[in-house]
Amino acid sequence: MALIVQKYGGTSVGSIERIKNVAARVADYHRRGHKLVVVVSAMSGVTDQLINMAKEITPLPSERELDLLLATGEQQAIALTAIALQAIGVPAIALTGAQAGIVTDGVHTKARIRNVTPKKVHELLNSGHVVIVAGFQGETPEGDVTTLGRGGSDLTAVALAAALKADLCQIYTDVDGVYTADPRIVPNAKKLDEISYDEMLELASLGAKVMQSRSVEFAKKFGVVFEVRSSFNDNPGTIVKEETKSMEAVVVRGVALDKKQAKVTIVGVPDKPGVAARIFKALADAAINVDMIVQNVSHGAPQPTTDISFTIEKADLPKAQKVITTLKQELGFAELIATENIGKLSIVGVGMKSHTGVAAKMFEALARIGVNIDMISTSEIKISVVIDAAKAEQAAREVHAAFIG
């Protein structure tokens, strides 16, 4: 008998029929003697509908009241899920985030969990209940309702699993687990049996949107082992956990392709202290999130210049161009080049730490199909390259074939 925390996303509870399916799955675990805490998101579409109502009143509704409004989505979903379980004879009880002891700070719409005091959840589990908890929400010590921002329900599940010292945390979603690549692009992509927190974090930040980074970070911090699996079948999913020795045998865990970025190159920047800081401070002040930054050695004398390239979200490109252009006089650079036609291709794996020649093997694969590399950036467990968007998907397949199959 284990204590299991399960989390079901909005798609999994997207209709009364699907809520009944979730109830059937939970009931199955319950009958096998497990203690269950079930975290549920709002039915898909509900949150957007509520946001639209608020925006119909005013474009910038107050975040405190927006949280009160949005929290009703999960509250409805837990009530309906508990009712569905009771209807098939399972003693279920629904708790809001506040009732389940999720205490947060007061930063509305993106609150951080301060602590979890799961006394009530423990009591209810011990009296034989299946406890259904509203994801995505909490309460400040002063009693104000808060929400946790994007991916908040995953965070609720992981935080509860940590606080309850759960044996298992299952994140149910609409995919079978974490894949070595996006199967729509790389038909050979395989589902992974396991992956380390760090690899999962790199994949998440590279656009493989199975889970938000913060939930994985939280799990890593508190050592919560969790499984990502599908709510539409019974296939085993992917276990996410601290890296083990055996994981290092695999050099590349996954290949990720991000086509949502744009590239900006500032040509002929005078190479003197403070210039890079000036550029990226200006971008940060404009709330533009910069991803990769590449600066090569400078050349020329007596006043050496360099080129600085960086990538940003495509949506931010016009704003970034405006910001950089206003700096032209001050910085005295030669030219600003921007393009949207790029793809960022990355390979991720903790095995890279102990294997050599990984980068060379990747670059060779790209060369084989005539792909030119624009930018390169590496971390301890990741290599990213920026390439032409037109060849990006073919490149993903080729790199996947070279490392994984």
Return residues touching its own copies (CB under 8 A): 16, 19-20, 50, 53-54, 56-58, 61-62, 64-66, 68-69, 71-72, 75-76, 78-80, 82-84, 86-87, 93-94, 96, 99, 120, 143-145
57 or 301: CB nearest its own copies: 57
CB of 119 to its own copies, least distance (A): 11
Distance CA 60, CA 43 (A): 24
Q: How far is the CB of 93 from its own copies (least distance, A)?
A: 7
Tokens of 354: 């102990």
Q: Which is nearer to its own copies, 69 or 125 (CB)?
A: 69
Smallest separation, CB 154 to its own copies (Å): 22
105's tokens:
């700070």
3-state secondary structure of 223: coil
Closest among 64, 65, 60, 23 to 40, alpha carbons compared: 23
What minimum distance in Å lies between the beta carbon of 65 and its own copies?
A: 4
Residue 313 class from Cβ within 10 Å (0-12 exposed, 13-18 middle, 19+ buried)? middle
- Closest approach of its own copies to the CB of residue 260, in Å: 32
Contacts of 324 (CB under 8 A, 6+ apart): 264, 266, 279, 282, 283, 336
Closest CA to 231 of 168, 173, 153: 173
State the minimum distance, in angstroms, from the CB of residue 129 to its own copies: 12
- 199 CB-near residues (< 8 Å, 6+ apart): 243, 253, 254, 348, 349, 350, 381
Q: Which is nearer to its own copies, 145 or 381 (CB)?
A: 145
Q: Which residue's entry shows tokens 């911090």?
A: 221
**Residues 268, 78: Cα–Cα separation, whole Å:** 58
Residue with smaller CB distance to its own copies, 46 or 148: 46
| Nearer to its own copies (CB atom), residue 152 or residue 351 | 152
> Going by C-beta distance under 8 Å and a sequence separation of 6 or more, which residues neighbour residue 357?
none
Two structure tokens written together for 124: 């209810």
Show the CA angle centred on residue 312, arms to residues 326 and 397, nearest 5°. 150
Amino acid (one-letter) located at 354: S
The distance of closest approach from Cβ of residue 143 to its own copies in the complex, given in angstroms and rounded to an integer, is 6
Among all chains, which residue has been given the structure tokens 């098939």? 88
Whichever of 73 and 343 has its CB closer to its own copies, that residue is: 73
Rounded to a whole number of angstroms, the minimum distance from the CB of residue 21 to its own copies is 12
- Residue number, 121 or 189, with CB nearest to its own copies: 121
Nearest to 235 by CA among 168, 177, 170: 177
Q: Which is nearer to its own copies, 33 or 143 (CB)?
A: 143
